[in-house]
Structure 1
């Protein structure tokens, strides 16, 4: 019974993190600065944006649940996820340039991405985002997984070292194009990479630590997984807050390239909220509509992430960048949500049909 609760709670949180993607991303792309800073929707989006790393913690926890995976399978999955990242970059950036006539002038001025600019197109195709972070993290964890399983406490130490090194190594380059690109994915300090390995892998490592703790006592998820979340979260939140109060620019400053205090504070806040989500889910009626929606989103996280980003940028090609008031932004959110869930439904229906056809073929051969 406790194992079921654990799975439900983790999926519940992941589903919530998936659902907030569209409101946050639509606000980032379509809302005017006034709407972003002064509207109710904008204020909510700014708060939700800070919650995106919860997905990284969930990923680490989930990875611990699949601890029996072999190294070859893990590395293959890591390569697949990295490849998905570049496929997504092609779909959301390059396709509108090649087939939709490019992006509006407002976006071109802000980004430099325009038809015929091969250098800019290549730069956007190679951008580092969530998939690159997850794939590289999975690769590094995969090659050392057996050691980490036996020495789970070292995961917290590694996470802390990554946090504290993040600002020290941030932006280091060697002047060698290919090598510098990899270094940018690891600790870049510009917007060629939104989620560099330093410090964001620390969130995945924390999730892995918590997941491995759970594996030691799966009969009681409350004491083996969620209470440790609360205690660690409070400690990290207090320390991170003190460091940010001491030097906000160094420790937080740029959200996508956090310093140690910002990473600790954000991680602490998310862990405490994770525990709150667990309490909420535990007390909800079974098979309620909210949980079912969250579980559906959690199960389809990868196609959901890709579809919503593609729809947002394809829509941008026919609209304006950073130009709309709150009512129009809300309408765009509704449209993107309907489009995403509609395409996700068709995608899953296609998968089921393909699987059924394959089963029939096998049966006929037998």
Structure 2
């Protein structure tokens, strides 16, 4: 799981750099661009891994889940402020970026809207406010799975539900939004289903007495079953079961979850006998600092819009930018580590940069 989460850190830098800086032609009409866009459909991998580790974490109290959920929400809004408002304040935000939303009026007001953008951190934060109760009160693994599948099943029915009242309408958007582009890219319904499916396997792992080989073999079997069920729903009844990547229906959730489970099994088989090396240590480092590195890369890439342009570059230049942002993200993370080491001198125990950032 550490290796996969570490891979997702590198992958998100690659994907976000392409989406922000590559022209639409470069994204859709080049082999490299199309492949990277395809990689962007791997969000479910991170969420299922999150669910597994949530069940196996040493912090099992409901209070810790609710606290971390609230902190992730705050972190998400802080990241959006740094991404969108700082460039406006210092005058390096490209005006044409806002045109894709078709908005009118003061640019400051338009960018304030983006502070509320529902990204993966908002999804994780909102989900933890729910799944903490599932972990505490649902002890049967199949009961956990049933809840995850039920959320997927009703997702299209509740999609777009909104209570037209200040603050409450934003919360309902985080839960049920179906507009795209919108202020919420990852609504809790259906995306929380992936986290709960991961929790099912995390509970199964505990029931297996930490038998990793059997766990991933079970993932393979369940993955094949999910693909067999989800594929006909997606390809024959796609309008309801898929609709769009960000707002998919039950068939899409089952289909993507199936391929994700097969992928996790494949990674386990490939890495099971790999000895510790620099690459493995680097990926584990990324996994340990996933939240902070996610925030760092998004902020740096967003600031780069005012320097390198927004969706104006060819694939060759974007590949150089990908390398540049990978290096820059690590450098900023290393700088945070140095600052945290100084702070750790007065802390009772060593904790990860992720925990420092959230606190």
TM-score by structure 2 length? 0.92
The answer to whether 1:227 aligns with 2:217 is: yes
Q: Deviations over 1:327-357 (max 9, x none)?
A: 1111111111111010011111111121125
Q: Which position in structure 2 is the counterpart of 1:136?
A: 126
TM-score by structure 1 length? 0.90
Q: Which position in structure 1 is the counterpart of 2:209?
A: 218
Q: Is the 8 A contact 1:112 1:120 kept in 2?
A: no
The 1-side partners of 2:134 and 2:45 are apart by 23
Q: CA 1:327–1:185 in 2, change beyond 3 Å: closer, same or farther?
A: same
Compute the RMSD of aligned alpha carbons: 1.9
The 1-side partners of 2:70 and 2:130 are apart by 11
The 2-side partners of 1:96 and 1:179 are apart by 29
Q: Which position in structure 1 is the counterpart of 2:243?
A: 253
Q: Deviations over 1:199-258 (max 9, x none)?
A: 1100000111101111122342111x2112111111111211111111223322311111
- Alpha-carbon shift at residue 85 of structure 1 (Å): 0.6
Counting matched residue pairs gives 347
Q: Which position in structure 2 is the counterpart of 1:61?
A: 52
Q: Which position in structure 2 is the counterpart of 1:105?
A: 95
| Structural mapping, 1:56-95, within 5 Å | 56-66=47-57, 69-95=60-86
The 1-side partners of 2:340 and 2:210 are apart by 35
The answer to whether 1:262 aligns with 2:252 is: yes
SS of equivalent residue, structure 2 residue 311: coil
The 2-side partners of 1:160 and 1:357 are apart by 46
Q: Is the 8 A contact 1:102 1:114 kept in 2?
A: no
Q: Is the 8 A contact 2:44 2:194 kept in 1?
A: yes
The 2-side partners of 1:37 and 1:166 are apart by 29
The 2-side partners of 1:282 and 1:358 are apart by 36
- Structure 2 unaligned segments of length 5 or more: list them: 350-359
The 2-side partners of 1:288 and 1:208 are apart by 30
Q: CA 1:321–1:154 in 2, change beyond 3 Å: closer, same or farther?
A: same
SS of equivalent residue, structure 1 residue 181: helix
The 1-side partners of 2:67 and 2:205 are apart by 26
Q: Which position in structure 2 is the counterpart of 1:281?
A: 271
Q: CA 1:156–1:115 in 2, change beyond 3 Å: closer, same or farther?
A: same
- Structure 1 unaligned segments of length 5 or more: list them: 1-9, 361-366
Q: Which position in structure 2 is the counterpart of 1:315?
A: 304
